[in-house]
Amino acid sequence: MAAERTEIAGLGEFGLIDRIKSSTTIQNLTSLKGIGDDAAVIDIGTENLLVSTDMLLEGIHFDLSYMPLQHLGYKAVAVNVSDIAAMNGKPEQIVIGLAISNRFSLEAVDMLYEGIQAACKNYKVDLVGGDTTSSASGLVISVTVIGRAAKDKTVLRSGAKANDIICVTGDLGAAYIGLQVLEREKEVFQTNPEMQPDLEKYEYLVGRQLKPEARMDVIHELIEKNIPLTSMIDISDGLASELLHLGKSSGLGIKIFEDKIPIDSLTYDTSVEFKIDPTTAALNGGEDYELLFTIKPSDFELLKNHPDIHFIGHTHNNPNQNVMISKIGTVVPIQAQGWKHF
């Protein structure tokens, strides 16, 4: 009798993570937070050590036909720094695992590391080691970032309370729409290599896809102003997905308002051009690397005039009710579509 086979796609990324987590036992008292947050939290005495890893695979996470190697190196660091930001921490070191095929020259590797070093300089992190190996095909980059946070300032996904205000930085959907622009220009080029890419008016959107920034600027500001956050996550898989993560981790329900979701005017107009609903792009696009966090209602006054923080809804006591109130007042269930890895 053949052994039973279950397809990973049936579980999806989050189901797979939950399955691995359910069979994992924490054995050391210093392991304060394991699988299930933006970074692991390790007790090192007076502070918490934060550790997170992300992989970028050619053909899955990036396409070198339009992704410059310098931008790829920068992005590989930035998306990891974003995980430390989401814990209210400060990154300090990275180590890099690189698998590379013989179709890449030494000069290509130099360009990749130019981007990595530029990000290290920007985020004040040190490249302290890693591993290199050959790849049968394509390029694989794995970055592990190490940071620190004060014990009483470390922010998890699980700390929200009912009626906390849900906040988001920046604007959403731009990276996803930027990807649509790049894919369209790639198709045009493949059809007619004489055609020059028309990217000038989409510069902001394309930049959000190719060279995202971790919002360490906001974290530094919140830490300096001593503003307490109750929960936080970075937006890598789309707003909807991250909202459900916060709600599930905190045992709460989510209520947001469509007209409060921050969408840049260029993102909006280009979404319409592509016949994509702008709100759908913001909810499910992903790769914006903005911060999603909650605050107590009593702390609203501290942030209400911040030009780059937007208040999009609140948490409540029913974990089975995660909804968005549309612009016309209808109740729409929040569903995580996001990026399907499998």
The DSSP result for 234-267, as a single string, is E-SS-HHHHHHHHHHHHT-EEEEEGGGS---HHH
Asked whether 161 and 116 are in contact (CB, 8 A), the reply is no
Could you please state the CATH topology (level 3) that the domain comprising 165-333 is classified under: Phosphoribosyl-aminoimidazole Synthetase; Chain A, domain 2 (3.90.650)
What is the tens place of the pLDDT at every residue in 223-257?
A: 999 999 999 999 999 999 999 999 999 999 999 99
How many angstroms separate the CA atoms of 173 and 178, rounded? 9
* pLDDT value of residue 14: 59
Q: Do domains 29-150 and 165-333 have the same CATH topology?
A: no
Grouping H, G, I as helix, E, B as strand and the rest as coil, residue 139 is: coil
Class of domain 29-150: alpha beta
Asked whether 61 and 201 are in contact (CB, 8 A), the reply is no
Tens-level pLDDT at each residue, the chain (342 residues): 556 777 767 666 656 666 766 666 777 788 787 777 789 999 999 999 999 999 999 998 999 999 999 999 999 999 999 999 999 999 999 999 999 999 999 999 999 999 999 999 999 999 999 999 999 879 999 999 999 999 999 999 999 999 999 999 999 999 999 999 999 999 888 887 777 777 889 999 999 999 999 999 999 999 999 999 999 999 999 999 999 999 999 999 999 999 999 999 999 999 999 999 999 999 999 999 999 999 999 999 999 999 999 999 999 999 999 999 999 999 999 997 644 544
* pLDDT value of residue 26: 73
* pLDDT value of residue 342: 40
Kindly state the tokens that stand for 254. Answer: 């989510």
* pLDDT value of residue 246: 96
Grouping H, G, I as helix, E, B as strand and the rest as coil, residue 224 is: helix
Query: In terms of C-beta distances under 8 Å and separation of at least 24 residues, what long-range contacts does 9-18 make, across chains too?
Result: 9/340, 9/342, 11/342, 12/340, 12/341, 12/342, 13/339, 13/340, 13/341, 13/342, 14/241, 14/336, 16/342
* pLDDT value of residue 20: 67
Q: What are the residue boundaries of the structural domains of the chain, listed by start? A: 29-150, 165-333
